[in-house]
């Protein structure tokens, strides 16, 4: 036991160690509780950094879409192209349209393909650069008057491709008769910089199509999923009008999801990052401050424990002096060891000696009580014997008295007999 008499460890030191261990255990519990409370800070910090990077990328992509729309409108407003469309059918008109479309798009940077179609979906003219072509989906799109169709995102070898389709109407006609589809590779896929605490970020772009969603990944993979599919679950918050970030702490490492909506193309962007357990500078700084405070508190509690033990040990010294005096009074020598444990040993020896003397006296008293009881029993027996002797003496006296009376009567009778004989 911690406070038992032990020559190897002084009582004061045992008390001091006990208080210090208790203080250290309490501070450790407080530290680990604070650490658990600060763990979400790492996720929040990563989420804020990731969302900020996502918003920057969304702004960049949005600018590219606006650029693509402006350039598509510029191509559609070409006078030569519009004049050919307004002219009646004639031999060589198709070649002229191709040439006009090529000249209209010649100095448009970032444009990789264009197609001119009528409302029946027939292709009238095609422009292609480096073998690129407008996708079938965009080529068949025929938006209404004043509308611009923006296709779901396409990622090809780190290039973010925009495809837009806009209607063409001539001579103030509100009903469009043709559609111009353009394919732009304006910028590289924006790099969403991972937060310092995360080694890698996964980015996906998507666009809703009715009850389905088209998802494009940074690795070029493009899939069309149902909204109820598990792969589409990441986009549900932003489809519900939310922007920001969320966390999933179910795995070994927390996952942070950041999402935003691109208003111009109505695209959705989601970035996912895994947060290592050692991450988060703010959490680390807070924990470092808590560790410093815990060390200061531990030092203060240790000093307080030292002073408290010193104060508590004063009565022990007084009791040790009283115990030494008691040993001298009892005729026993105090412990020869004058070390740190002599006080407690002196008290223990004095108590043991006093207990031994008490037991000895108690045994002597018990022996005397037994002898006194025995003497009382013998005295009682003698008293009983004296009573019997007194009764016997009384009986003998009575018998002797009767014998004397009988002798007197016999003498009288003898005298009477003698008188009778004498007569």
For residues 279 and 43, give the distance between their C-alpha atoms in angstroms, rounded to a whole number: 9
With a CB cutoff of 8 Å and minimum separation 6, the contacts of 69 are 148, 150, 164, 166, 264
Instruction: Please name which of 179, 66, 160, 166 lies closest in space to residue 112, comparing C-alpha atoms.
Output: 160
Task: Report the SS3 class of residue 347.
Answer: helix
> Cα separation of 41 and 178, whole Å?
55
What pTM, to 2 d.p., does this model score? Answer: 0.53
Contacts of 322 (CB under 8 A, 6+ apart): 350
pLDDT tens over the chain, length 423 residues: 444 445 555 666 777 787 788 878 888 887 777 766 665 555 677 778 888 888 888 888 888 888 888 888 888 888 888 888 888 777 778 888 888 888 888 778 888 889 888 888 888 888 888 888 888 888 888 888 778 888 888 888 778 888 889 888 876 667 888 888 999 886 677 777 656 556 678 888 888 888 888 988 877 788 888 888 888 888 888 888 888 888 776 556 677 888 888 887 888 888 888 766 555 455 667 777 778 888 888 888 888 877 777 776 666 666 666 766 666 666 666 555 544 446 666 667 777 777 777 777 788 888 888 888 888 888 888 888 888 888 888 888 888 888 888 888 888 888 888 888 776
DSSP state of 176: -
Of 110, 154, 105, nearest to 126 by C-alpha is: 105
From 172, 115, 177, select the one nearest 143 (Cα to Cα): 177
DSSP letter assigned to residue 277 = T
φ/ψ of residue 124, rounded to 5: -95, -35
β-pairing verdict for 244-248 and 178-188: unpaired
Q: How far apart are CA 1 and CA 352, in angstroms?
A: 20
CB burial class (10 A; 0-12, 13-18, 19+) of residue 345?
buried
* Percent helix, strand and coil across the chain, each to the nearest 5: 55, 20, 25
Kindly report the backbone phi and psi dihedral angles of residue 267, in degrees, each rounded to the nearest multiple of 5, phi listed first.
-95, 165
Q: Please report, for residues 12, 153, 343, the alpha-carbon distance to residue 334 in angstroms, rounded to integers and kept in the order given.
A: 20, 96, 10
Look up residue 140 and give its DSSP letter: T
> How would you write 237-272 as a 3-class SS string?
HHHCCCCEEEEECCCCCCEEEEEEEECCCCEEEEEE
Cα 94 to chain center, whole Å? Answer: 71
Q: Is 219 exposed, middle or buried (0-12, 13-18, 19+ CB in 10 A)?
A: exposed
Q: What is the C-alpha to C-alpha distance for residues 273 and 409, in angstroms, rounded to an integer?
A: 148
């Amino acid at each position: 036991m911690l406070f038992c008499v032990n020559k190897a460890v002084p009582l004061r030191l045992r008390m001091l160690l006990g208080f210090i261990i208790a203080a250290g255990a309490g501070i450790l519990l407080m530290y680990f509780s604070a650490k658990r409370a600060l763990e979400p800070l790492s996720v929040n910090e990563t989420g804020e950094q990731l969302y900020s990077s996502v918003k920057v990328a969304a702004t960049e992509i949005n600018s590219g879409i606006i650029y693509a729309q402006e350039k598509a409108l510029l191509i559609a407003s070409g006078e030569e192209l519009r004049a050919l469309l307004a002219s009646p059918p004639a031999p060589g008109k198709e070649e002229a349209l191709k040439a006009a479309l090529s000249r209209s798009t010649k100095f448009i940077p970032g444009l990789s393909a264009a197609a001119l179609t009528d409302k029946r979906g027939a292709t009238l003219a095609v422009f292609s650069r480096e073998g690129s072509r407008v996708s079938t989906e965009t080529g068949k799109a025929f938006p209404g008057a004043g509308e611009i169709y923006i296709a779901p995102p396409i990622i090809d070898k780190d290039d973010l491709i925009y495809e837009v389709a806009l209607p063409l109407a001539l001579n103030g006609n509100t009903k469009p008769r043709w559609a111009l589809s353009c394919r732009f590779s304006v910028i590289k896929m924006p790099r969403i910089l991972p937060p310092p605490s995360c080694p890698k970020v996964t980015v996906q772009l998507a666009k809703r199509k009715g009850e389905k969603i088209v998802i494009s990944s940074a690795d070029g993979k493009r899939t069309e999923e149902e909204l109820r599919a598990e792969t589409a679950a990441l986009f549900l918050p932003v489809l519900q009008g939310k922007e920001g970030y969320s966390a999933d702490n179910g795995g070994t490492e927390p996952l942070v999801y950041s999402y935003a909506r691109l208003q111009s193309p109505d695209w959705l962007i989601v970035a996912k990052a895994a947060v290592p357990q050692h991450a988060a500078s703010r959490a680390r700084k807070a924990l470092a401050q808590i560790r410093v405070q815990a060390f200061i508190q531990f030092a203060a509690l240790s000093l307080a424990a030292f002073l408290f033990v010193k104060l508590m040990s004063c009565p022990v010294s007084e009791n040790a002096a009283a115990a030494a005096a008691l040993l001298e009074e009892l005729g026993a020598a105090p412990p020869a060891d004058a070390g740190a444990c002599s006080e407690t040993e002196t008290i223990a020896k004095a108590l043991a000696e006093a207990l031994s003397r008490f037991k000895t006296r108690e045994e002597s008293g018990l022996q005397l009580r037994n002898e006194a009881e025995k003497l009382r029993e013998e005295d009682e027996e003698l008293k009983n014997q004296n009573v019997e002797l007194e009764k016997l003496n009384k009986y003998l006296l009575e018998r002797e008295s009767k014998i004397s009376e009988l002798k007197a009567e016999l003498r009288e009778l003898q005298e009477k007999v003698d008188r009778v004989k004498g007569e």
